Amino acid sequence: MTQLTGSEWFVVQTQVNSEAKAARNLLRQGFEIYMPRYLKRRSHARKIDKVAAPLFPRYLFVRIDMATQRWRAIQSTFGVSHLVLNGSDPARVGEKILDVLKAREDDNGFVKLDQRPKFALGEKVRVLAGAFAENLGLFDGLADRDRVAILLDLLGRKVRVSLEADMVAAA
């Protein structure tokens, strides 16, 4: 068993949809936590909005000082499934990894994700939502930072349409 000393970051796996509950309970016990979140696009009842969602569903990071804190108490915390272990020791996460995540956060604390689509020009795509849902088209490039241009076959001709990047998937 390796002796761990000092305050370091570790990974906790939470119960399903219990990231916030686990975070609250770990904070109450005196642990520092980091739960990176992002704004997820949600479509519900013909309405599209953005909601906060964990960047790593069912996982969060916890800082533990092995010399002073009882890390085994994490295993029985409400909302926590278990502390991720490497053998019999908690698995460390490098401080630099968390620094990179924190550097990508906006002013509201949400991690900004790269929205660039991974399509090649002329590749077939399917529209996932909106007025053109389920239509097939051809990827025609980026319209701006968050939107893509596709060519749809409408009324017997190709029409260039600009859509949100996450409304389009490979066909």
**Which of 36-50, 95-109, 114-128 has maximum average pLDDT?**
95-109
CA distances from 108 to 19, 102, 113, 153 (A): 19, 11, 14, 40
CATH ID of 124-170, from 3.90.1150.10, 2.30.30.30, 1.10.150.530, 2.40.128.20? 2.30.30.30
- Which element (helix H / strand E) includes 144? none
Ranges for all domains in the chain classified under CATH 3.30.70.940: 7-103
Is the domain defined by 7-103 classed in CATH 3.50.50.60? Answer: no
Please give the pLDDT value at position 1: 41
Tens of pLDDT, residue by residue over 36-62, are 998 887 767 777 788 899 989 999 999
Which is more confidently placed, 61 or 91?
61
Contact, 25 vs 79, CB < 8 A?
A: yes
